[in-house]
Structure 1
């Protein structure tokens, strides 16, 4: 890929140190492309400079303010690591790091994953730097199929990226292939039911008993399970389990935007905006359709509902509007919350990842948000790893904290909106084409 950089952009990007101060005069000279590149580069630092040092993978979170000392700096997050792996491919192509640095970083991560605890091929939600699983909850101490699926899509992208490389790169592609093909998706049907289950533990078995049904962030879990050539599941698992034999469908509109998929939330509403991101980092929603939905239109509606909701601002929160929008799961003024556009789940907190990771669906609206955050809010929301996780103007709350699973989609989805890089890699895999066809999908990419 060829990217054009001006001398002025080089100067801007080179100056992005960890203590960067904003300068409104210089910011306003940035073109959209320059600002997007800057945001991607600064955000990617979370997964490179800020990576967990032993594994080279993503930390669960990082607190620049050090207010909450036990901030899981040493805990590796499986899903966020998948997002960071995809971000490394972006970083190589954008020349944020060298080709050799990117290869070494990816190899370190994949070598760690190959030795880490796995449960029927499935990684835990969290891992210690030793590779041992760390419990996420009382009975959630081992295999996490959904987090593993976020990682699996990244492994497919790595394989495709290095498939025609030199001998070392081909070996890395082979390792990525071996890791994703070792995931026993069919085991997670819990005794051959036509539905997938989120968790399994050698200590508590199926005690979590959490069946994965749509619609939420887990479409990619079913896609990866159907596409596996080694431990795949039949199409009936998707149609009866995920789509609930058609009960996944609904029909209503919010702010004039139609919604055809019934989100797993109370009432006629849409869920947190990350539901339009996590499954689509590799899976290209453009032209992607099955008998349940047109996924591009669904994700556009989900995004624009958030945008219009912020403008309507029914709860009267300070700062909401066309330049400050997007509700998703993130830090909240009190703890952590799955923010969404409804009376009970809107807590006056804006999460930058929501609008920024929606760049492919609403580039103009997303760009407005990026400019406002960077040019007007500055150091209140911008730090060493890009924009902080969340803020509330109503509460005058601007925590200097990051969460890996929120930072990752920013780098990847902005790139997909600009060049389609990860979409093209993922959709080029023959197993993905075959699996999507098996499930009844149509797409110009298959």
Structure 2
């Protein structure tokens, strides 16, 4: 699911995501919102973290599209699908789901054998699904593997979503590569898929920037060069890391980093912004920008000549926290235990929530997926959602996508791209598991060095 607001006009995003007006949304009740009530006995922090991980993992396990095993774009517990798209799978969330399945195996939510069997199904499907110069489309028909257009001209390769998928695939490859014969064979199968992505093609004729889309029907008409800062850092890292279709370092420095103009000297709530968020000097974007690229890319001690990426993401988190505590618009429910603005459903359709576009909507993934950056602050939100709001926001696959106390708006609906970072980033905050796996990939090590990064993970 694309979230860069400059790349996708909000009106179009509302149409693409099939969101609905407040009159069409269903207010969650005890009957529709959850399969069971929240527990009355208070859980320890560790118990709560594990429960949230397990429930959210189930989105990608129990809730997976049955033919492909991939992550559904959305699951609506009220059964209402405005676009009748309940079997459409989404590439980026599938990448996150791959990593969530590794969490499930490690945490014992499923057995290793069950996990490997499901991963095999997913990889077999991805191998046969439509690809465009090695890149998968944003949406895929789960029953057939054929592209489902995300928009009229967005019916080809989506390099950003592909990067999120490859991040997950490489993590799984590293997890399985020293396993039994079946696991080693699956790791080899993944390796082939990764090496077939033609990152260099997406330079649109050799330019020193990567383009988001290419279509066999519309070619480059989408015309979205990806220039920082937003959620797409891992795409540039992977493009530089590819041993088969890699790009030179200049693509990163000139295209993504804008020859240094990406750097910011602005502050918000007394904290350095570090990088200009999508060209907006002094502002911070939706919270997912600190999540998607960092499910695998370890920001701890990660630096280059533009930024300290731990500082970037921790400050982004705390600026959003401080903004919601300050609550300049006076919205009901905001505070220490209810903060976090990111792109999600809203009362009036899909919206890119941020301090610059605050509609009074809290998206649970924002604070929960920020657990590594602000553990205490994230846990306060988690506990408030689970213990105080309960069935209004908690259901079969964990916390629902978004809610608003200000507008008395609660909806029992999930988006895959928002559920995915929750179990993965919580695990990274607890053990660093996914960070360690992704960063151990030798190609990633080579790519990061090529771009001038430094990290304790680099050998």
**TM norm structure 1:** 0.94
Shift of 1:70: 3.5
Higher relative contact order (CA 8 A, sep 6+): 2
Contact 1:62–1:71 (CA under 8 A) maintained in structure 2: no
Could you tell me which runs of 5 or more consecutive residues in structure 1 were left unpaired when the two chains were aligned. 1-16
CA offsets, 1:82-114, max 9 Å, x none?
000000000000000111110011000000000
Q: Which residue of 2 aligns with 1:20?
A: 36
Residues 1:362 and 2:368 aligned together = no
Q: Distance between the aligned counterparts of 2:370 and 2:327, measured in 1?
A: 19
Task: Indicate the RMSD between aligned Cα atoms, in angstroms.
Answer: 1.1
Show the 5 A alignment for 1:27-176: 28=42, 30-70=43-83, 72-129=85-142, 130-176=144-190
Shift of 1:71: 5.1
Q: Distance between the aligned counterparts of 1:41 and 1:373, measured in 2?
A: 16
Residues 1:386 and 2:386 aligned together = no
Residues 1:314 and 2:328 aligned together = yes
Shift of 1:279: 0.3
Contact 2:266–2:281 (CA under 8 A) maintained in structure 1: no
Show the 5 A alignment for 1:230-379: 230-264=244-278, 266-342=280-356, 345-379=357-391
Shift of 1:155: 1.0
Number of residues of Structure 1 aligned to a counterpart in Structure 2: 425
Contact 1:63–1:71 (CA under 8 A) maintained in structure 2: no
Could you tell me which runs of 5 or more consecutive residues in structure 2 were left unpaired when the two chains were aligned. 1-32
Q: Distance between the aligned counterparts of 1:369 and 1:266, measured in 2?
A: 28
Shift of 1:23: 3.2
Show the 5 A alignment for 1:167-206: 167-206=181-220
Say if 1:54 and 1:307 are closer, same or farther in 2 by CA, change over 3 A: same
Shift of 1:266: 4.2
Contact 1:355–1:366 (CA under 8 A) maintained in structure 2: yes
Select which of 436, 439, 443 maps to 1:431.
443
**TM norm structure 2:** 0.91
Q: Distance between the aligned counterparts of 2:223 and 2:88, measured in 1?
A: 25
CA offsets, 1:143-186, max 9 Å, x none?
00000000001111111111111110000000111111110000
Contact 1:246–1:292 (CA under 8 A) maintained in structure 2: yes
Contact 1:182–1:230 (CA under 8 A) maintained in structure 2: yes
SS in 2 for 1:251: coil
